[in-house]
Structure 1
């Protein structure tokens, strides 16, 4: 009896995981929250802080159809987007920074980098389908 219940629970959890996986394949718009940030300058150790304390938005939306990433104050076009094994890579420029977003297509985790000739920001977060 226990094994049957465990088996049913495993099937239920796996079927739910398959449904979630489709949320991050670029077919649905996403709402992403930045959770952790690191500000890096040449010759210094990176400073860890909340993204908002570094001037980064707390929330971003990704619209794959319009090829736009939006924050609370501005939107920026996705200039380059490619699907690689297990991830979607997006790139663009905004306010004299080059940025890259790597989206994990299995669980919606994101890693973002913003760089210019003086410094870099590295942000980590999670997305959900809208």
Structure 2
């Protein structure tokens, strides 16, 4: 598969695929005689892995580190890779907590605004009754 086919299949831009290759998230892809990337099944597995890890919220930096550890030895780096994932999980949970706090604040503002508008509308209604 060429880069545009892979891009379409995985809904990742060609720039993203090139970037992932450049920083080591996916291994160097073989090129044809014209210098175009030709993705093998193994390359596609790496692209899929990168996509699902990013979708799971793993940062690019953590993913680079994770893959570098994986490539040094799957068994030897298991604990370190698990630690990376646990740290990424902690960061996501912190982000979720922050978003929930922001949402709560916004909901309060919406509720307060509705109450404020209702009071103002009462004043508008009182003025209409007084002038009639």
Give me the TM-score of the superposition, normalised by structure 1: 0.23
Q: Relative to total residues, which structure has the larger helix share, 1 or 2?
A: 2
Give me the TM-score of the superposition, normalised by structure 2: 0.23
Q: Relative to total residues, which structure has the larger strand share, 1 or 2?
A: 1
Q: Which of structures 1 and 2 has the larger relative contact order (alpha carbons within 8 angstroms, sep 6+)?
A: 1
Which has more radius of gyration?
2
